Amino acid sequence: MINDAGGAGFKSKTQYKSGLFTLRIKMSDKKTDGMITAFYLISDDQDARVNHDELDFEFIGTQGKLQTNIFANDMGGREQVFQLPFDPSEDFHTYQILYTPQRIVFFVDNIPIRTFENNTNRGINFPIKSLWSEASLWISDAVGWAGSVEWGYAPFVVSFQDFNISGCPAGSNCLPSNDFSPWTRHKLASKNLNLMRNFRKKYMTYDYCRSEENKIRYPECA
């Protein structure tokens, strides 16, 4: 719960080199902009002003605007934004990040909504560092990019449950679970691709690769 400018959060006890990271979230039923609910993986060098690895789910406000972002030893900027097809304040929904050496996949209620392939052989950055899993709730009033908080509706309560990690801790010799095998193959199954394409076609409202400037800045957009 936040009722003044500030923030709070929690994180995993260890870092992971791969895994499936799951959290169920129920958003505040008080409608406002300016409040950021985040579920993300991040490397040790967490200063946003320096190059680091990070994989983000970020709710921009409380009305179902969900942004994903990827930092790959750089400053990020790979935003893709979705307007969810449900009210995230009515019930808990499941958000997952799969982090493997082959690809990254973001899921909403078991539907893949975004993938990022390991194409380092083509000169495309890909996260390779061990990452913490974290969740936080903070206010963007000082930043302004997410809008202003309607403080007259405070307090804002966001609920979390079933924080779960199935993965390989940093420094271990384990390999990604066989449960990940449909997502670690060279090509994704047609069923998974179709689910993702349909979701993106209906609900994606912004894609960094559609910017002419980004097609030059990010080689994966070319």
Which residues are part of the catalytic machinery?
54, 58
Neighbours of 48 (CB within 10 A): 11
Query: Residue 72: exposed, middle, or buried by beta-carbon count in 10 A (0-12, 13-18, 19+)?
Result: buried
From 217, 43, 210, 49, select the one nearest 125 (Cα to Cα): 217
Q: Is the dihedral of CA 42, 90, 36, 11 positive or negative?
A: negative
Task: Measure Cα distances from 61 to 38, 66, 80, 102, 145 in Å.
Answer: 11, 9, 16, 32, 11
Neighbours of 222 (CB within 10 A): 10
Q: In this structure, what token pair is assigned to residue 200?
A: 């993106």
